[in-house]
């Protein structure tokens, strides 16, 4: 096959707020010669370690520091413009601890995904691991979904269970979830590059009907 016939890599912008372990997994995956995606930029809502890691990899970064804006709408507008500058095919909220506003959601509808450390629709929100452990479930897990106007309410794209051990703490359980989450996310991005998000949602719906 002529190189001109090969599909261009999926352009991915990653949003982060912390150390960037999920971001790092995506970047590592893109180093594989046959991985069908590339990270074209990493953005954050506050100064964080992940930005430095991305810069060390030679990846463009941007900061839309929430604390520097007078209101959420203004920040949402700035974030949308910053992400749009890189013309992404997919935006990944990877440990991004800020709820985006309607402008961002509308601009990237159908190509804006989020990871969540629970089996949605159970344990939505920011304390999913603590709540699962307190509730006493035998299994929790990792979910990846499209972002919509709600909190963790968008269509599911991928899920995988993680058993809860009798001696688990929040930290040990979350660490095991993260291992699954990193692999699940990298596999999903590759699948989206090949098939798009619509096909993934369709397959999830069909599985629920069976």
Q: What is the mean pLDDT of each run of 10 residues along the chain (210 residues)?
A: 65 97 98 97 98 98 97 97 98 95 96 97 95 97 96 95 97 97 97 84 57
Question: Is residue 4 in some structural domain?
Answer: no
Question: Is residue 1 in some structural domain?
Answer: no
Distances (CA, A) of 52 to 37, 39, 44, 55, 57: 21, 15, 11, 5, 9
Question: Is residue 61 in some structural domain?
Answer: yes
Question: Is residue 64 in some structural domain?
Answer: yes
Q: Range of 115's domain? A: 9-209
CATH code, domain carrying 40 = 3.40.50.170
Q: Report pTM.
A: 0.91
Q: What is the DSSP string of 13-33?
A: EEEESSS-HHHHHHHHHHTST
Taking the chain, what is the end-to-end CA distance rounded to the nearest angstrom?
39
**Predicted pLDDT at 3:** 44
**Predicted pLDDT at 4:** 44
Question: Is residue 3 in some structural domain?
Answer: no
Question: Is residue 31 in some structural domain?
Answer: yes
Judged by phi (left if over 0) then psi (alpha if -120 to 50, else beta), residue 160 lies in beta
Domain count, the chain: 1
**Which of these, 131, 185, 130, 139, lies nearest to 162 by C-alpha position?**
139
Question: Is residue 134 in some structural domain?
Answer: yes
Apex CA 196: angle with CA 91 and CA 116, to 5°? 50
Active site (catalytic) residues: 116
Which residue is listed with tokens 């089996």?
119
Question: Is residue 156 in some structural domain?
Answer: yes
């Amino acid at each position: 096959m002529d190189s001109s016939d090969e599909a261009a890599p999926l352009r991915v912008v990653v949003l982060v707020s912390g150390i960037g372990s999920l971001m790092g997994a995506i970047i590592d995956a893109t180093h594989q010669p046959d991985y069908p995606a590339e990270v074209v930029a990493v953005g954050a809502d506050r100064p964080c370690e992940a930005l430095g890691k991305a810069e060390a990899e030679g990846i463009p970064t941007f900061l839309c520091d929430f604390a520097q804006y007078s209101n959420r709408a203004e920040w949402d507008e700035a974030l949308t413009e910053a992400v749009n500058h890189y013309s992404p095919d997919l935006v990944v909220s990877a440990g991004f601890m800020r709820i985006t506003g309607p402008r961002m959601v509308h601009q990237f509808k159908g190509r804006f995904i989020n990871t969540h450390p629970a089996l949605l629709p159970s344990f939505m929100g920011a304390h999913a691991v603590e709540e699962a452990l307190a509730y006493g479930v035998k299994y929790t897990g990792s979910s990846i979904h499209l972002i919509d106007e709600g909190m963790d309410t968008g269509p599911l794209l991928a899920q995988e269970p993680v058993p809860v051990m009798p001696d688990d703490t929040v930290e040990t359980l979350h660490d095991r979830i993260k291992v699954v989450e990193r692999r699940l996310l990298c596999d999903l991005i590759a699948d989206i590059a090949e098939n798009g998000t619509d096909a993934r949602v369709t397959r999830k719906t069909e599985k629920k009907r069976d």
